[in-house]
Structure 1
Amino acid sequence: MSEVEKYSPVDAVSIDYVNILLIGAVGAGKSSYFNTINSIFRGHVTSQACSGSAEHSLTTVYRVYKIRSQETGFPLKFRLCDTRGLEEEQGIESADMLAILDGHLPDRYQFNPSMPVSPEITGYKKNPTLQDKIHVIAFVMDGCSVDVFPEKILTNIKATQQKANQRGIPQVVLLTKVDRVCQEVEQDLSQVFYSQAVQDLVDEVSQLLGLPRAHVLPVKNYEREMELDQGVDIPALLSVRQMLRFADDYLYNFVDER
């Protein structure tokens, strides 16, 4: 927690914070992940972002969330960017995704499936800076549904990966609801990194998306808990720390290229 609080982007690029983009199917736990990280640093369970289960995405706008230090009240030096959930019939349009990755979209942009992003929308950033761009992508996947993952959504994710690879953006998977795939982990969350069932799931997701296993990060979001639990906090903090390290890798590549 201390390491995450003290994080600052690579000095050579002179930006104030890095952007982590959350992408996933409806109900995978994107908004809940933000709430979980927010809870850890607020010191109690929060529900700032709308979360839950519904037929269609509860997130309808592009949100750039800040995490504030409980001690100082100041935002930490990373942002969690939440998008509408991917659906079989309604994904994120290719033009919209490019606009997000390249930093054109303003906070609170309202997604419209019938009208892709254009430079005419209010707040559109025509000349985005490095600070506006996405520095890491986190694909949020429900650990309970990996075996029956919809083909259309997987195709959408693969298309996003291709765009990210062209831009050199690192990618991870936040593997949620891991407590439901292993009874041992459900009873004792500290066993998450010792569970064979979770390890097998990490291997499966790694192969599915073509990412190294160290990029597949098992987490459990706050859902039914009323109070903070270190068993939830530790995997969540490890996932943030890993993403911040990957963000620095992206920034160092940018420095080397420049």
Structure 2
Amino acid sequence: MVGVLRNFELNDPDVGHLRCLLHGPVGAGKSSFINSVNNVFQGRITSGALVAAASGTSFTKTYKTHYIKNGNARLPFAFNDVMGLEAQENGMQPKDLINALKGHLPEGYKLFHSIISSTGIPQVVVMTMPDKACVLVDSDVKRIYTSKAIKEKMQTCSNELGVPMNCMLPVKNYHEEEMLDDDMDIRILNAMTQIMNFANDYIWDLQQHA
């Protein structure tokens, strides 16, 4: 699966990179997911996206692009990390979220309060921390495939957000681990493959209606 993504070809080479905008609640594991993906491709624990201890407020304060290395080159996809969604006026502004989705925010842009608006851009839900939702997964991450508790969480999330079940991607991020784990890597790679395929399909569809 790593080889597939290392050799991933864009439907429109002029796009340069498929950009994944990560948004969600504070402490959901957005920055940890970026690091987890980078870990898999680097074959080691990395910390390119800084992660804060649980504090209730967002650690990410600026709009930043995180590229994934492939040797000395970049893979054709990147992440944009934004502030967590907060109940207080500390998160991201609606206009900022829309501009980020359109790729109009400059690097280093300071982020503020937000709500979420739907767009035609593909959306998936990366469900982090499955080990907190199921004791079986906590003891063996492979149980993520068969856990009834995880399946119920996926269905609930799908119903509430209006996102299809095949777009619900449970993943255990690297957080406290000191070494890589093959079972964790498989879920991370599966999620990335789904995300990249959906994004590439979207680019192809735009071309057909240009």
Q: TM-score, normalised by structure 1?
A: 0.77
Q: Superposition pairs for residues 104-115 of structure 1, below 5 Å?
A: 104-112=104-112
* Counterpart in the other structure of 2:148: 196
Amino acid in the other structure paired with 1:101:
L
CA distance in 2, matches of 1:170, 1:48: 25
CA distance in 1, matches of 2:69, 2:124: 23
| Equivalent pair of 1:8/1:17 in contact (CA under 8 Å) | no
Q: Superposition pairs for residues 148-163 of structure 1, below 5 Å?
A: 156=115, 159-160=116-117, 162=118
* Counterpart in the other structure of 1:29: 29
* Counterpart in the other structure of 2:3: 2
Per-residue Cα deviation, 1:19-39 (whole angstroms, up to 9, x for no partner): 010001110000000010111
| Equivalent pair of 2:93/2:112 in contact (CA under 8 Å) | no
Q: Name the SS of the counterpart of 2:208 in structure 1.
A: helix
In structure 2, the gaps of 5 or more residues are: none
| Equivalent pair of 2:40/2:185 in contact (CA under 8 Å) | yes
Matched, 1:82 2:81: yes
* Counterpart in the other structure of 2:164: 212
* Counterpart in the other structure of 1:16: 16
* Counterpart in the other structure of 1:93: 93
| Equivalent pair of 2:92/2:112 in contact (CA under 8 Å) | no
* Counterpart in the other structure of 2:194: 242
CA shift, 1:112, in A, is 4.7
CA distance in 1, matches of 2:46, 2:126: 20
| Equivalent pair of 1:8/1:16 in contact (CA under 8 Å) | no
CA shift, 1:73, in A, is 2.0
CA distance in 1, matches of 2:188, 2:23: 17
User: Runs in 1 of length 4+ with deviation above 4 angstroms?
Assistant: none
CA RMSD of aligned residues (A): 1.4
Matched, 1:172 2:124: yes
Per-residue Cα deviation, 1:128-187 (whole angstroms, up to 9, x for no partner): xxxxxxxxxxxxxxxxxxxxxxxxx8xx3xx32x2x1xxx20100000000121111111
Q: Across the two proteins, how many residue pairs are aligned to each other?
A: 207
CA shift, 1:54, in A, is 1.8
| Equivalent pair of 2:127/2:170 in contact (CA under 8 Å) | yes
CA shift, 1:14, in A, is 2.4
In structure 1, the gaps of 5 or more residues are: 114-152
Work out the percentage of aligned pairs sharing the same amino acid.
34
Q: Name the SS of the counterpart of 1:34 in structure 2.
A: helix
Q: Name the SS of the counterpart of 1:174 in structure 2.
A: strand
| Equivalent pair of 2:128/2:173 in contact (CA under 8 Å) | yes
CA distance in 1, matches of 2:16, 2:121: 18
| Equivalent pair of 2:63/2:109 in contact (CA under 8 Å) | yes
Q: Name the SS of the counterpart of 1:55 in structure 2.
A: coil
| Equivalent pair of 1:22/1:80 in contact (CA under 8 Å) | yes
Q: Which moved more, 1:72-81 or 1:212-221?
A: 72-81
Q: Name the SS of the counterpart of 2:66 in structure 1.
A: strand
Q: Name the SS of the counterpart of 1:21 in structure 2.
A: strand
Amino acid in the other structure paired with 1:89:
Q
CA distance in 1, matches of 2:132, 2:98: 34
* Counterpart in the other structure of 1:124: none
Q: Name the SS of the counterpart of 1:224 in structure 2.
A: coil
Q: Name the SS of the counterpart of 1:40 in structure 2.
A: helix
Matched, 1:73 2:72: yes
